[in-house]
A and B are shown apart, each in its own frame.
Chain A
């Protein structure tokens, strides 16, 4: 299973094993990483699993979908590298992935 790292807004890093085929959000929630709320449970319907993908990883995490952009449109502090982690499937290619979290999920 690939190891991925979530960095909280305050700088605290959490490296967890992410199960292949699940979403990055599920890897965070399943490992009790604080700061990923995921209120809708992974349906791309709430924007509370917002992460910033480190630039060098963007090619491997893929691009936002239209529905994802529509939800991110209302998140706080959206940046070009903002993604909803429930929309990023965990693949072997993501070994070593680093994502950062916003100050809060809204």
Chain B
């Protein structure tokens, strides 16, 4: 299993027999079924900067190799993240529901807004948060059933990431599952059924805005406190945001702090269960947690891609990308590129340079919460190893229908009594 590049065994013909110009790697179903890997393997080999003329998302370029992704991600002068051009995902939302946030914004406004919130995840603050994270983690783990099956995603991954997010926002703790719900609603594919139309999505997100506006109003007139809402309410760059920009940044922070770490918490356990030699190595030497954490984040790649829009004609990997073209950087592919990462399809918890991966992106939009995410995962695995024997995983994970969020909805496990 360790070296199998195509986890589902469904590599057969299609991705390799289709004419290259018909290859459309962005189909959400491929990701739900984990069938996307062979598509990207073929593209990296045969057409690393690939143009798909027709798809459910319209025409788009796929950047599939590690170094090309790094070049595009670092070149924010040519490759824009601006919401009005389509933002950061392969799906173009209708212009009237496109929403700005600092991830979907170019310099210099991006820089100013990002800096309003980034101190919350600066090294000094992380050190202060560590004790609280550990306490919450222990409490969640101690409450888990022993000797009976449960959904790890629900009881561990969602619970821990939502508690973290509620802490960062200083959000009413008893209402914290609303954060999970809004996060899921914001990113859901309509075909997945959680929301059935853009109108329904907007109605639910309007509730989110109403709830947070109450918190904002309480905090803008109070003394500055170290939570994300107070920080935005008190920073010059963000205190005059329109309600729509406020909602945009809320969604960014909720999805960024919620979905991603959640799926690494689930994906890590799945990867260990599929690689029992690695799980044993970890149990024998818990110090490997430090290098395992970035390996989990690489292997899972919780966000499969980021999208940009070209502001001018620009050549990448020998192909001419035209002004206005949609460009999708497939982190999930770059993270499996053997020209940059040795034996990339294998999950190896003691890699030499485990942090060399694309999951956080590179350049000015690089994940602001990366070190917090790593710390949450590190503490989770430290506390798991202290108290549980090997956790048994049953069946295969139920995956999210999305080519953006690489998510796991259900992972059934038993902790031996």
Instruction: Name A's B-contacting residues (CB within 8 A).
Output: 37, 39-41, 43-47, 67, 70-71, 73-74, 76-77, 102-106
Cβ A43 vs Cβ B364 within 8 A = no
The A-contacting residues of B in range 262-279, CB under 8 angstroms, are none
Chain B residues with Cβ under 8 A from A104's Cβ?
Answer: 122-124, 126, 371
The A-contacting residues of B in range 139-188, CB under 8 angstroms, are none
Cα distance A78–B6 in the bound complex, in angstroms:
44
Chain A residues with Cβ under 8 A from B124's Cβ?
Answer: 76, 103-104
Q: What 4 A-B pairs come out closest when comparing CB atoms?
A: A104-B123, A45-B362, A76-B122, A103-B123
Cβ B70 vs Cβ A43 within 8 A = yes
Mostly, the A contact residues are loop
Question: Which residue on A lies nearest to B126, using beta carbons?
Answer: A104
6 contacts between A and B (CB under 8 A): A46-B366, A71-B364, A74-B115, A74-B364, A76-B123, A105-B371
Chain A residues with Cβ under 8 A from B122's Cβ?
Answer: 76-77, 104, 106
Chain A residues with Cβ under 8 A from B73's Cβ?
Answer: 45
Question: Which residue on A lies nearest to B71, using beta carbons?
Answer: A43
Cβ A45 vs Cβ B74 within 8 A = yes
Taking the nearest CB of chain A, how far is it from the CB of B312, in angstroms?
18
Cβ B118 vs Cβ A74 within 8 A = yes
7 extra A-B contacts, CB within 8 A, seeds A39-B356, A45-B70, A76-B118: A37-B355, A40-B356, A41-B353, A45-B74, A73-B111, A73-B364, A104-B122
Chain A residues with Cβ under 8 A from B366's Cβ?
Answer: 45-47, 74
Chain A residues with Cβ under 8 A from B362's Cβ?
Answer: 40, 43, 45-46
Cβ B121 vs Cβ A106 within 8 A = yes
Cα distance A44–B124 in the bound complex, in angstroms:
23
Flag whether B363 is at the interface (Cβ < 8 A): yes
Flag whether B237 is at the interface (Cβ < 8 A): no
Chain A residues with Cβ under 8 A from B127's Cβ?
Answer: 103
Flag whether B326 is at the interface (Cβ < 8 A): no
Question: Which residue on A lies nearest to B107, using beta carbons?
Answer: A70
